[in-house]
Amino acid sequence: MQIIDGKATAAQIKAEIAEEVKQIVANGGKRPHLAAILVGHDGGSETYVRNKVLACEACGFKSTLLRFEDTISEEDLLAEVDKLNRDEDVDGFIVQLPLPAHISEQKVIEAIDYRKDVDGFHPINVGRMAIGLPCYISATPKGILELLWRYHIETSGKKCVILGRSNIVGKPMAQLMMQKQYGDATVTVCHSRSRDLKKECREADIIIAAIGRPDFVTADMVKDGATIIDVGTTRVPDATKKSGFRLNGDVKYDEVSPKCSFITPVPGGVGPMTICMLMKNTLSAGKKEFYR
Ligand code: GUN
């Protein structure tokens, strides 16, 4: 069994990006610039955005953080999005989710210029991804593809079971794993209403678990030699931690890991790759790789 080290892989990719940025700037090119909008004071969002800003520094990007109180109106937030759309110095930007209940997340996502949508959440990017056109691919599925690729894990013709059908992970992951140019696999998507979910999992060469239910995938659901990708990051109370909680994956790691050929740990697997792929998308935005 081999542990897929997302932390080390992410560090390596960030170093590769930093090197490329150095070259771009040395050749008189523009330093990539990522902006982030953070509304309110949600603890998780604060941490994510702080880590995104730090990752920008590690990659040699310029970053701008725009903070607003959670009392900001939808109209005012849309006006801020529009400002970033028009700001020629900003190559890409994100609006950190979740947003307060009085603001429509979908409306905000659709207001972002798809050419600057480095989260890959805009319907134009989602649609282009689905039909295999160049576009921003959202960070978590992109990070999983990168891990499979860097660990030389064969996916072509393999049976891949995806647990979960969210817009951010399950759905795009299924699209990418089935496409010839990415996974080229036979894909089954299972969710809360799926019958014979255990049987589907037992037949899988690759399981990608993204349902947000701690320890859901148990040893009896896993074929010998399978590859297990754990996207779960549920905060569970843990008195032994300074923060009072720990991150728990969707996979019962201790009993599943001895059975598989590859597995991602939680933390340190898929998680670190996510921000790293946002950096890759920002580099692409700076280079105008997908859109002029
Ligand atoms: N909230 C949780 N994950 C994400 C993400 O990838 N992008 C944004 N914008 N918000 C998030």
Residue 153 CA to ligand 1 centre (angstroms): 27
Cα angle value 162/168/174 (rounded, 5°): 30
Q: What is the model's pLDDT at position 51?
A: 96
Tokens of 171: 């759905």
Protein residue closest via CA to atom 7 of ligand 1? 96
Q: What average pLDDT does this structure show over 280-292? A: 97
Query: If DSSP codes are grouped into helix, strand and coil, which group holds residue 6?
Result: helix
Q: What is the model's pLDDT at position 134?
A: 98
Q: What is the model's pLDDT at position 277?
A: 98
Tokens of 112: 């972002």
Protein residue closest via CA to atom 8 of ligand 1? 96
Quick: pLDDT tens for 102-124.
999 999 999 999 999 999 999 99
Tokens of 260: 């598989």
As a whole-number percent, the residues of the chain with pLDDT over 70 amount to 100
Place of tokens 């849309």: 78
Quick check: 101 and 84 in contact, CB under 8 A? no
Q: Phi and psi (nearest 5°) for 114?
A: -60, -20
Tokens of 257: 């890991």
Quick: pLDDT tens for 7-41.
999 999 999 999 999 999 999 999 999 999 999 99
Which residues have a catalytic role annotated?
Answer: 52, 96, 119
**C-alpha–C-alpha distance, residues 190 and 197, integer Å:** 7
- Is the whole-model pTM more than 0.85? yes
Q: Quick check: 284 pLDDT over 90? A: yes
Q: Phi and psi (nearest 5°) for 46?
A: -60, -45
Question: What residues pair up with 208 in beta bridges, in sequence order?
Answer: 162, 229
Quick: pLDDT tens for 145-198.
999 999 999 999 999 999 999 999 999 999 999 999 999 999 999 999 999 999
**C-alpha–C-alpha distance, residues 30 and 24, integer Å:** 7
Percentage helix, strand, coil for the chain under 3-state DSSP, each rounded to 5: 40, 15, 40
Quick: pLDDT tens for 57-93.
999 999 999 999 999 999 999 999 999 999 999 999 9
Provide residues with CB under 6 Å of ligand 1: 94-97, 119, 139
Site to probe by mutation for ligand 1, drawn from 94, 169, 280 as the one with most ligand atoms within 8 Å of Cβ, is 94
Question: DSSP states of 61-79 as a string?
Answer: -EEEEEEE-TT--HHHHHH
Quick: pLDDT tens for 209-262.
999 999 999 999 999 999 999 999 999 999 999 999 999 999 999 999 999 999
Ligand 1 atom with the smallest distance to the CA of 139 is: 6
Tokens of 43: 């603890």
Residue 179 CA to ligand 1 centre (angstroms): 24
pLDDT tier at 292 (50, 70, 90 boundaries)?
confident
| Distances in whole angstroms, Cα of residue 53 to Cα of each of 49, 56, 142 | 6, 5, 20
10 Å Cβ neighbour count for 150? 15
Q: What is the model's pLDDT at position 48?
A: 94
